[in-house]
Amino acid sequence: MLKLGSEDDDESPIVLEKPKVTFDVPGASMDDDDATPAEGDNPFKLDLNELNPDFIIPKEYKKVKNLGQGAYGKVMEVFHIPTQKTYAIKRFEDIFTKEYRSERLLRELIVLKTSQHPCLNKLVTIIPPVDWENFDDLYLVLDACEMDMKNLLKSSKHLEETHVKSIVYDTLCGLNYLHKANVVHRDLKPGNILVNDDCTI
């Protein structure tokens, strides 16, 4: 059995010369003509803080956009003001209401903290609860990617053969690493495969 994070697994993402693919990412920078109206111009417009009052994170993180939602909770893209970097924050909700919810969180934490492979997402940090005696949600800060495979396939972007080879190779490298560690991904689907703008996984 290969332990997660072992240096015995020498596989790495494919290295190919390939042009970058520019994604149509919602919330990306716009031209001056399409700039967002000044605050107060639209009294009916709600910002992310008003739309997501229950997504409670420290003030050094600025909410950017919602990335998805599942049985575990919600994922949101955030901007970390001190480091000027973009991350994804995944919130696990009601982790103590059912035993399986706590087990799911613990299992994911173990895999994220011990996996060391360039094709797997990284756990940056865990946001400490405000009240250690009374909390039901936990926020994990993860590396962010530009898009997932589902949105990429639905987009109008044309992928060259080199891009397809890179995506398939990187995905298989990540899966092989997990399988060698006796870890099975039980929800492998396009929406759970994150892609960068250079088509790395």
| pTM of this structure | 0.71
Q: Residues 86-140: pLDDT tens digits?
A: 999 999 999 998 898 999 899 989 999 888 899 998 899 999 998 898 899 999 9
Domain limits at 182?
57-195
CB 82 within 8 Å of CB 67: no
Supply the pLDDT for residue 27.
43
Structural domain count, the chain: 1
Instruction: State how far the alpha carbon of 167 is from the alpha carbons of 13, 118, 161, 173, 193, in Å.
Output: 9, 13, 10, 10, 10
Sheet holding 61-69, edge to edge: 61-69, 73-80, 85-92, 138-143, 123-127
Locate the DSSP E strands across 39-171: 61-69, 73-80, 85-92, 123-127, 138-143, 147-148
Distances (CA, A) of 40 to 6, 36, 47, 48, 84: 54, 11, 11, 15, 26
Is residue 8 among the annotated active site residues?
no
d(CA 20, CA 160): 10
Cβ-proximal residues to 80 (8 Å cutoff; 6+ apart), any chain:
60, 61, 86, 87
- What is the token pair recorded at 11? 């596989």
Within-domain flag for 148 = yes
In a domain, 117, yes or no: yes
- Is 21 inside a domain boundary? no
In a domain, 96, yes or no: yes
- What is the per-residue pLDDT across 160-191, written as a single tens digit (0 to 9) for each? 899 889 899 999 999 999 999 998 888 888 88
pLDDT single digits (tens) 83-98: 999 999 999 999 998 8
pLDDT for res 50: 58
Residues with Cβ within 8 Å of 54's Cβ and at least 6 positions away in sequence, in order, are none
Rounded Cα gap, residues 72 and 92, in angstroms: 5
Residue 60 has pLDDT above 70, yes or no: yes
Q: How many CB atoms are located within 10 Å of the residue 185 CB?
A: 13
CATH code assigned at 101: 3.30.200.20
Q: What is the Cα 160 distance to its own chain's centre? A: 25
Average pLDDT, the chain: 78
Strand-pair partners of 139: 91, 127
Q: Which of 24, 148, 187, 197 is catalytic?
A: 187
Has residue 106 been placed in a domain?
Answer: yes
* Cα–Cα distance measured from residue 83 to residue 47, given in angstroms and rounded to the nearest whole number: 23
| Bridge partners for 86 per DSSP | 79
